Structure 1
Amino acid sequence: MLWNAIQCLAASGCQWRLLPRDFPPFTTVQRRFYRWPRLRSACVSQRVTGCR
């Protein structure tokens, strides 16, 4: 569920607080995202290359 929320953010470029209610609270997703450096770099490279 957290991975899907992070993919949603990467694909849409929305703000943390605008994450759909189907996902866990944005603070939970945000905290986990900031703890995973490899995941962060993968999401950034995905947005830069335009892969969705």
Structure 2
Amino acid sequence: MIDPEELGRALRATLAGFKVPRNIEIVDDLPRDDNGKIAKHRIRAHYADAGARTA
């Protein structure tokens, strides 16, 4: 399994600071629609809800 902190360090070594993600979340699989495509709207909704809870 990939360690998010190790991934962040590797990205900082090769990318400009503003391009490195602030948060890295490792998941087993991404939500998919019935046709097999990644359900980006569900991912966006998940993070929009999380932001609303912390604000």
TM class by shorter-chain length? Answer: 0.3 to 0.5
Q: TM-score, normalised by structure 1?
A: 0.35
Structure with the higher fraction of residues in helix conformation: 1
Q: TM-score, normalised by structure 2?
A: 0.33
CA radius of gyration, larger in = 2
**Structure of higher RCO (CA pairs closer than 8 Å, 6+ residues apart):** 1
